[in-house]
Amino acid sequence: MDTMTAGGAIFTRLKALGVDYVFANSGTDFPPVIEGLAEAAAREIALPRALVIPHEHAAMGMAHGYYLMSGRSQAVMLHTNVGLSNGATGAINAACEHVPILLMSGRTPVTEEKRFGARTVPIAWGQEMRDQTALVREACKWDYELKFPEQVGGLLDRAWAIANSTPKGPVYLSLPRETLCEATPRAGLEGPPSLSPVAVAPDAAALAEAARLLAGAERPLVIAQRGAGDAASFTAFGRWVEAWGIAVCSWWATHLSISTEHPCHVGADPGPWLAEADVVLVLDCLAPWWPDRHALRPDARVIHMGPDPLFSRFPVRNFRCDVAVAGESAVTVPALIDAMAGLPRDEAVIAARRARLAEGSEATRRAAREKAADVRRGITKAYVSLCLGEALDGLEASVFSELGTQLGTLKRSEYRSWFQEPHSGGLGWSFPCALGAQLAEPDRICVATMGDGSYMFANPTVCHQIAEALALPVLVIVLNNEEWGAVRASVAGLYPGGHAARANEMPLTALKPSPDFTQTAAASRAWSRRVTDPAEVPAAIAEALTVVREERRQALLDIRVLPD
Ligand SMILES: Cc1ncc(C[n+]2csc(CCOP(=O)(O)OP(=O)(O)O)c2C)c(N)n1
Ligand SMILES: [Mg+2]
């Protein structure tokens, strides 16, 4: 019988499941994995590319970014409990954003002797856990441990199908070393998936009710956070809100749902719009507004639409929900548009509403950009956002922002042109995410903009090493305020006149002295510049873009910004 090592069978099966890359960080649990990979390659079996990723958080971030661009789940393979714990924050981020990732980690050998694969080095005793999976279980939709080598195909099919079912998310399989060392039949490993992911279709009655409410609304409002689905539904969504004169607010948006320049895009503040809205469509939002600050009209009706409208994984979340429509936005958005197509409309009312929105949205944009252009005190995040938006205008580019540039002041118009860190906020996300996106689309401009704290959370030496090793010409823009500004703002928000807010330097928030980040990047032969003068920002961005586009070399701008 034709057999192969279970370690090699994993790669063979992943390829059949459409996995292009295995982002791997190996260890002493990996001999059967590495041997199996080499064995499969020697036998000329089609395999995903296995990449050395020198930190697990970066591996998870790259799988995340690759999915955002390609829509295809990738695999991450880590070293026992210690590697898995380093990857856990990435799993939390992926779970929050419904990003499917096939996460695996080895298990230290459980046998001490007399079995092939048994323990050899002291860490095999040191890394044993009763429940290794507990490190990521809450973030994963499904988890299991490979018990027998012949289960490789079936368990990976199941993991993949569940990860890609609505609502999507990461799954975890642990891989004991002794099992990986055993042989398994090759037959069937290269065949098509044996299980199909589940696509949830919206409930017809809920959809009809949502359509009826929105069509009859006087002041309809959409609050959107995780975009409007795929390229086609993104376009359809923009046309639909315009046709019906519906306001769209992007409060803490992590994906772009509509062009920032769209006449119905009313900006990021839901407050004034929520105060007047009689029907609110919450489009895939974990937290659509701030309950202590923003109030719904008492008679308002609220529709929640998304892969999991009640976000059942989260223990507490009680935003009012009168109608729930489940499904991926690529399906529910067009379905809602169709459901409204035949409903009665008062053209005069809609036209007046549309004109009012266009005026409001233009005024909001103008005010924000005029304020952003004022650099008398120095460079602000808003100013860099303004400059970057202008520099990227008309280019195929995605911006991954993590306490970096700000949507709205930063002009963004296309589907997938903007992503912000997940609401789980596991920092160090944007740099590796941009690397994964660049890997998926080599010709796209991928810009990671982030705070100085976020840059350091990303293990920058690791990320720059990856960018050089894989020839990924990402542009990194660090908005360096030499502090954890968000933490300082949070303290000042809760205790406005408090001791901490009045202190010369707030405790536990400073990042001084700031390292010279241009040298961190230069260590991996990136092009890098520090910018302190507002007048130099546009030219510095333009030069950096030339480097990434023409030299195809990674670039970093360390821009000194004022505290917000
Ligand atoms: C892994 C992780 N650790 C800690 C935090 C808490 N945290 C939230 S915002 C923040 C500061 C971010 O600083 P920076 O990236 O410099 O942005 P700034 O607010 O200064 O603009 C911290 C530490 C977090 N979200 N994630
Ligand atoms: Mg900072």
> How do residues 472-484 score in pLDDT, each as one tens digit?
999 999 999 999 9
Residue 29 is predicted with a pLDDT of 86
Q: Is 484 in the pocket of ligand 1 (CB under 6 A)?
A: yes
- CB-based neighbours (< 5 A) of ligand 2, an ion: 451-453, 481, 485
Question: What is the Å distance from ligand 2's center to 483 Cα?
Answer: 4
Residue 564, pLDDT > 90, answer no
CB atoms within 10 A of CB 544: 23
Residue 560, pLDDT > 90, answer yes
Looking from the CA of residue 428, the nearest atom of ligand 1 is 1
Residue 151 is predicted with a pLDDT of 97
Looking from the CA of residue 483, the nearest atom of ligand 1 is 20
Q: Is 510 in the pocket of ligand 1 (CB under 6 A)?
A: no
Question: What is the Å distance from ligand 1's center to 472 Cα?
Answer: 26
Question: What is the Å distance from ligand 2's center to 52 Cα?
Answer: 30
Pocket perturbation via mutation, ligand 1, pick of 92, 385, 430, 457 by most ligand atoms within 8 A of CB: 457
Looking from the CA of residue 425, the nearest atom of ligand 1 is 25
**pLDDT confidence tier of residue 504, bands split at 50, 70 and 90:** confident
Residue 339, pLDDT > 90, answer yes
265: its two tokens:
């895009």
Residue 310 is predicted with a pLDDT of 97
Residue-by-residue DSSP string for 314-372: SS------SEEEES-HHHHHHHHHHHHHTS---HHHHHHHHHHHHHHHHHHHHHHHHHH
> How do residues 1-20 score in pLDDT, each as one tens digit?
899 999 999 999 999 999 99
Mean model confidence pLDDT for the chain: 97
> How do residues 277-292 score in pLDDT, each as one tens digit?
999 999 999 999 999 9
> How do residues 505-539 score in pLDDT, each as one tens digit?
899 999 999 999 999 999 999 999 999 999 999 99
Q: Is 426 in the pocket of ligand 1 (CB under 6 A)?
A: yes
Q: Is 90 in the pocket of ligand 1 (CB under 6 A)?
A: no
250: its two tokens:
């992007």
Phi first, then psi: what are they for 185, rounded to 5°? Answer: -60, 140
> How do residues 344-398 score in pLDDT, each as one tens digit?
999 999 999 999 999 999 999 999 999 999 999 999 999 999 999 999 999 999 9
pTM score of the predicted model: 0.98
**pLDDT confidence tier of residue 470, bands split at 50, 70 and 90:** very high
> How do residues 33-87 score in pLDDT, each as one tens digit?
999 899 989 999 999 999 999 999 999 999 999 999 999 999 999 999 999 999 9
Of residues 505 and 25, more confidence is placed in: 25
Q: Is the alpha carbon torsion for 385, 387, 390, 392 positive or negative?
A: negative
